[in-house]
Amino acid sequence: MPDAPVFADGIARTVALAERGEGEVTVLTAVGRAEADVARAEANQKKTELDVARDTPLAERGSISQQELDNAVQANLANLASLKAARASLANAQAGVPRAQADIAQARAVLGPDALVLPEQGVVLTTDPEVGRWVGRTYLQGYLTLPNYVNNMRRMGFGDDDFAASGSDRLVDALVVWGDEQTIKARLDEHRAAGADHVCIQVLSVEQPFPVMRGGQPFRLDGMRRLAPALNY
C-alpha cells in the first residue's frame, strides 16, 4: 500500500472488521529494487532479531509477558519476509524482470496458491505510437501529481527524467500497453504467467482516455468488444 494516512486508516479498519468476523487479513508491503532498499531491509530485520534475543530471557524470567515476546517474534518474522522480498526484487531488477511481473510473482508467493491475485492494466487499441502514448500520458497525468504513486514508480526503477514533460516514453510504455489485440494479449499473458488469476483491463482511447465516465458521457464499449475474442481464455 502507498505510504499515505488514508490507506493506513483503511487497512486498520479492514483488519478490525476481519478480527471481529474471525477472518484473516494479509497485508503486502511494497519493497524497492535497489541495493539501498536491501540494506534498509537488512537493518530492520537485524534490529528485530536483536529484540527477540533481548526479550527471550526477559520472558523466561517473567520480566515481560509472553505476549510481548510473541509480538517481537512476529515483528522479526515480518521483517525477515520483507528482507527476502527485497533481495528477490533486486535480483529480478538485475535480471531485467519487469516490476509488474515481479510484484505479481511476489504476491502469489506470499498469498499462496488458493488466493486470488487480480492486477490491473491500462490498454490502448492502436498501433500508432504517438496516439498510444498520448492516451497513456493523459491517463497517467493525475498519478504523476501524487507523491505516493511517484514514489512507487521510483521503486520500479524510474527517475526524475521519466516524470518530466508528462512522462517519458519508457514510463508510459511500461504502465500502459498499446498495440493491436495480440500485443495487448501478450502483456496480459505475462501477468498471468507471473501468477495472476485475472487481469482487470482499463480500455482507454482518444475519445475516452480515462477509465471512468466524465461529463455525463456513457462508457465506451467498442474497445472491449474488439478485445473480447482475443482475450477469451
Where along the chain do its domains lie?
5-111, 120-227
DSSP string, the chain: --S-HHHHHHHHHHHHHHHHTT----------SSHHHHHHHHHHHHHHHHHHHHHHHHHHHTSS-HHHHHHHHHHHHHHHHHHHHHHHHHHHHHTT--HHHHHHHHHHHHH-SSS----EEEEEE-S-HHHHHHHHHHHHTTGGG-HHHHHHHHHTT--HHHHGGG--HHHHHHHEEEESHHHHHHHHHHHHHHT-S--EEEEE-SS--SSS--TTPPPP-HHHHHHTTTT--
Average pLDDT of the chain?
82
- Predicted confidence at residue 86, as pLDDT, reads 72
- Predicted confidence at residue 31, as pLDDT, reads 53
Specify the higher pLDDT residue, 58 or 99. Answer: 58
pLDDT in tens, 97-128: 556 777 787 778 777 888 888 888 999 999 99
Specify the higher pLDDT residue, 49 or 93. Answer: 49
